[in-house]
Amino acid sequence: MKIPALTDPNRLLLFTIYAFLIGLLATLTPEAVKDLISSPGSNSRWYPGLWWLGTLIVVVVLFVVYHPKIKVWFQASGAMAPLTPTSRYNVRSVRGLVLLVSREERIHSGIYAVDYHRPTLTHVWLIHSSDAGSKEGVKKITQHCAEVAPAIIVEPRPLSNVFSVEMSKALVESIRKEAHGVGIKDSDFICDFTGMPKPVSAGVVLACIRPGHRLQYMEPKAVVEGGSPDQSAGSRPVEVDVNYDVELV
């Protein structure tokens, strides 16, 4: 069980202040009661009732601020803006692109993503699994980059567990740090969550949920009979704005 911050002995100063105030409140309680029931002629000069009330208010405020369940309740009761994702087609091209490489036959959607961002693209990170089809997709995209824009740096990044949201999220966050290390800002860095199993896509979305982080998926330009994407018709990126600042534990 997680210890609330206010009563965590490892946070000695906060714990000491809280314990002192609780002790002070216990000491003042009988004095305040005696002052309340005392005769009108025996007025106290230090007004224990007011001191008791002031100490109680401080203790309650500290409890509300630091106790996680109370804090969440107050935040939920406040006027919090709803989560309203929006999407758009006019995607501004980037310098850094993260792609999920799944098993796809014929033309991989990641190739269309590279072509779209090619005017400004300098780095591509390819998240792939140990599946032979995924590795073949990495080879196709890498070869395509070498043909159309040899200056683009392609960095394959294997994901050992494609059913772990946490691992895919951590991998994207690690790649983001790499991008920062080579001078790519968040405004010039976008992650594509098209392809691979749903837990991987969920991890990518969670890694890009902060304001200023960019996210996209590839939408097919046409579909064949039955509703499947017509890969030969190509696909285009759709940027999704989430912009929801959350604390992920």
Does the pLDDT at position 249 exceed 60? no
CB atoms within 10 A of CB 62: 16
Q: In the prediction, which pLDDT does 230 show?
A: 76
Strands (E), the chain: 86-88, 96-101, 123-128, 153-158, 189-192, 214-220, 235-241
Is-contact 184 123, C-beta < 8 A?
A: yes
Does the pLDDT at position 248 exceed 80? no
Tell the residue number behind the tokens 């064949």, with chain if given: 224
Q: How many helices (H) and strands (E) does the chain have?
A: 7, 7
pLDDT in tens, 21-35: 788 878 878 877 777
Does the pLDDT at position 229 exceed 60? yes
Question: In the chain, what is the greatest distance between 2 CA atoms, to the nearest angstrom?
Answer: 98
CB atoms within 10 A of CB 185: 12
